[in-house]
């Protein structure tokens, strides 16, 4: 299944192995020689999203805004699953944290960007504190613990009702601006801002993954205890990855809250964290383009479906999508895209080589 688009080098009319070796390895490992292709594809996709969003109808634009916002959270989840091979079910919890902290800051009269920075830093700090014990766990236990956190946060929001408004909720103030652009709603400028933030985070993720940081992380994720034997301080690196994931979730949470306009515990249910995980698995855990695809999938499909089936039943589609993605192997949609590109490229190269 994993080499379906790359023919067997032993066959007579085969592609020369050397032609496909580096790109093929890069497709499978998620790192390596395809970095610039990945950055290029990512930026092209971001451009396409902005184009479709600005020229399309407002409902689609709103869906894309939510989608790219969730893609930022998926990017964080990708770091945990792709690099450390763990499951994080707490992205929704950190999104809630970021969103509520930001609005509480706004109520004190701060500017939007001040509230954004402070809420991200505080959430990252909380994420680091939570990550110190969480990183000592492995496998299904991290899934359990993060799942428990996702359950606990809506109740905590209700508990601290003096600050958070509890069940009644907290409205997001009007008239916010960021670098002169209006914040919130379904403004094309707001979509542009979110896409730019996503693109920056995504390119940063790609550069980190393909460089030395990525090499260390993959050693930890795939090698486990062996990495300690090679002198890698895995605890520190693991906490760093979880903190990065929490910070991205906080950014996503702030944008999510600002777009929806009103925060209640129901905005951040356990299902949100599960959706982010579906985005990670479907898109491809080591892929930034996959994060964009996964995020847009979970952001745009539920509203579109609501005319056909009741909102609660979108689980049917997402459950099915998750299962199909798992059956197809761990690379996700991005893997198919990259394999096709590498295959076509290798055919072209072979054609040119035979012609010369």
Partner 1 sequence: MDLLETALLLGVVSGLLYALSGAGLVLIYRTSGFISFAQGDIAAVGLFTAYFAHQAGAPYVVTFLVTIVTCAITALAVGGLIVMPIGRQGALSGGLATIGVGILIQGVENATVGNSPRPFPAVTNGVAFKLDAVQIQSAHVVQILTTVAVFVVMGIAFRKLTAGVALRALNEDAETAELLGVPGRRLRLLSWLLSGILAALAGLFIVPLYTLTPTSVNAILLFGFCAVVVGGFDSVLGALLGGLIIGVSANLVSAFLTPNLVTTVLYLTLLTVLLFRPHGLLGRAPMRRV
Q: Are 4 and 328 in contact (CB under 8 A)?
A: no
Q: Bridge-partner residues for 262, per DSSP? A: 171
Q: What DSSP state is assigned to residue 329?
A: -
**Closest separation in Å from C-beta 225 to partner 1:** 5
For residues 68 to 107, the per-residue mask of contacts with partner 1, x marking binding by CB under 8 A and - elsewhere, is -----------------xxx--------------------
Stretch that binds partner 1, among 22-30, 42-50, 66-74, 133-141 (CB under 8 A): 133-141
Q: Which CB sits closer to partner 1, 79 or 322? A: 322
Distance CA 212, CA 227 (A): 14
56's CB contacts (< 8 A; 6+ apart) are: 64
**Closest separation in Å from C-beta 133 to partner 1:** 5
Q: Is 148 in the site for partner 1 (CB under 8 A)?
A: yes
Comparing CA positions, the residue from 5, 7, 42 lying closest to residue 199 is: 42
Tokens matching residue 254? 């702030």
**CA 89 to each of CA 134, 159, 191, 296: distance values in angstroms, whole numbers, following the listed order:** 12, 21, 26, 19
Q: Which CB sits closer to partner 1, 229 or 236? A: 229
234's CB contacts (< 8 A; 6+ apart) are: 220, 227, 228
Comparing CA positions, the residue from 330, 334, 325, 339 lying closest to residue 3 is: 339
Distance CA 81, CA 84 (A): 6
Stretch that binds partner 1, among 20-28, 96-104, 175-183, 269-277 (CB under 8 A): 269-277
Indicate which single residue of 77, 164, 314, 335 sits in contact with partner 1 (rule: CB under 8 A): 314
Tokens matching residue 157? 């929001």
Tokens matching residue 186? 């379904």
Pick out residues in 164-223 that bind partner 1 (CB under 8 A): none
Stretch that binds partner 1, among 35-43, 61-69, 272-280, 295-303 (CB under 8 A): 272-280
Q: Is 4 in the site for partner 1 (CB under 8 A)?
A: no
Q: Is 336 in the site for partner 1 (CB under 8 A)?
A: no
Q: What are phi and psi of 170, to 5 degrees?
A: -135, 120
Q: Which CB sits closer to partner 1, 217 or 281? A: 281
Pick out residues in 221-260 that bind partner 1 (CB under 8 A): 224-226, 229
Q: Is 44 in the site for partner 1 (CB under 8 A)?
A: no
Indicate which single residue of 313, 344, 348, 353 sits in contact with partner 1 (rule: CB under 8 A): 313
- Total residues at the site for partner 1 (CB under 8 A)? 48
Q: Are 252 and 72 in contact (CB under 8 A)?
A: yes
What residues make contact with partner 1 under the rule CB under 8 A? Answer: 85-87, 133-134, 136-137, 139-141, 143-145, 147-149, 151-152, 155-156, 158-159, 224-226, 229, 271, 274, 277-278, 281, 309-310, 312-320, 322-323, 326-327, 329-330
């Amino acid at each position: 299944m994993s080499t379906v688009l790359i023919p067997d080098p032993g066959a007579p009319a085969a592609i020369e192995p050397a032609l496909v070796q580096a790109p093929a390895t890069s497709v499978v490992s998620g790192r390596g020689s395809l970095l610039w292709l990945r950055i290029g594809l990512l930026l092209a996709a971001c451009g396409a999203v902005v184009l479709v969003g600005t020229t399309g109808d407002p409902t689609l634009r709103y869906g894309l805004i939510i989608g790219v916002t969730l893609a930022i959270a998926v990017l964080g989840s990708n770091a945990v699953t792709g690099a450390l091979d763990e499951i994080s079910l707490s992205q929704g919890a950190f999104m809630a944290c970021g969103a509520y902290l930001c609005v509480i800051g706004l109520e004190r009269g701060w500017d939007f960007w001040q509230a954004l920075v402070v809420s991200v830093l505080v959430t990252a700090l909380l994420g680091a504190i939570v990550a110190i014990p969480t990183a000592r766990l492995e496998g299904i236990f991290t899934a359990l613990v993060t799942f428990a956190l996702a359950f606990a946060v809506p109740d905590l929001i209700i508990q601290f009702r003096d600050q958070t408004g509890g069940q009644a909720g907290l409205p997001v103030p009007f008239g916010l601006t960021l670098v002169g652009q209006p914040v919130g709603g379904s403004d094309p400028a707001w979509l542009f801002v979110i896409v730019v933030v996503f693109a920056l985070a995504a390119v940063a993720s790609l550069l980190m993954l393909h460089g030395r940081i990525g090499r260390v992380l993959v050693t930890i994720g795939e090698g486990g205890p062996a990495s300690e034997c090679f002198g890698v301080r895995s605890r520190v690196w693991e906490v760093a990855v979880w903190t990065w994931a929490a910070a991205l979730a906080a950014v996503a949470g702030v944008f999510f809250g600002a777009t929806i306009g009103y925060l209640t515990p129901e905005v951040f249910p356990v299902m949100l964290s599960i959706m982010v995980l579906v985005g990670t698995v479907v898109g491809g855990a080591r892929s930034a383009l996959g994060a964009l695809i996964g995020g847009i999938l979970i952001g745009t499909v539920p509203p579109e479906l609501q005319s056909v089936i009741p909102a609660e039943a979108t689980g049917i589609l997402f459950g099915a999508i998750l299962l199909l993605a798992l059956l197809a192997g761990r690379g996700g949609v991005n893997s198919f895209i990259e394999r096709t590109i590498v295959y076509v490229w290798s055919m072209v190269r072979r054609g040119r080589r035979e012609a010369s």
